[in-house]
Amino acid sequence: MGNGLLQQDLSLSRQHRMQTSSAVAQRMFGTPDVLVSAIKLTELPGIEVDQSADQVGYFHLLFDTHEIVFANGAPSESLLRADTALASVTPQARQEIRMIFPDLPDQGITLPPHMIPENLQQKRLVERLLKNQKPVLETRIS
């Protein structure tokens, strides 16, 4: 990820997005900070698909709005409250979300804190970072 990140190994689902912050993103998207799916980042050295995992468990952080949180020192997204994301959790989890957050509508989208480029654009960003030997995070985010 760059700048001494991560503090220790981090496992994510393929769809989970990490925040990037770079001059490359600034040139491509008009903002240095964008969210990129973990699977797109596997083109970079040190980021790989764990082929040895035979079982996984997911922990989702849900807030009133889509937030950036730090996972092992790296900026990562909370659960994006969108129809597609909520469809990926179990019915029991959706029921628990409704119980904890009774004022949240069953459907709808919260706005992400940073741009989420389309898949092809994410791929091109990663390719350019790799080609130019730039880290995903050029500056330390706090």
Q: What is the pLDDT of residue 64?
A: 77
Query: CA 24: distance to chain centroid?
Result: 18
- Name the stretches of the chain with pLDDT < 70: 1-7, 82-86, 104-110, 139-142
Strand partners, 137: 21
At 121 the pLDDT is 97
Q: What's residue 18's pLDDT?
A: 92
SS (H, E, C) 77-119: ECCCCCHHHHHCCCHHHHHHHHHHCCCCCCCCCCCCCCECCCH
**What digits encode the pLDDT tens for the residues 71-105?**
888 899 988 876 666 677 788 887 887 888 777 66
pLDDT of residue 97: 78
| Separation of alpha carbons 113 and 90, rounded Å | 25
The Cα–Cα gap between 88 and 69 comes to: 21
pLDDT at residue number 109: 60
Q: What are phi and psi of 31, to 5 degrees?
A: -150, 140
**pLDDT score at 68:** 92
Identify the pLDDT of residue 108: 55
> What does the pLDDT read at residue 96?
84
CA distance 139 to 37: 19
Does residue 134 contact residue 45 with C-beta atoms inside 8 Å? no
Q: How far is CA 61 from the centre of its chain?
A: 12
Q: From CA 84, how far away is CA 10, in angstroms rounded?
A: 24
Model pTM score = 0.82
Query: What per-residue confidence (pLDDT) applies to 103?
Result: 75
Question: Which residue type does 47 have?
Answer: I
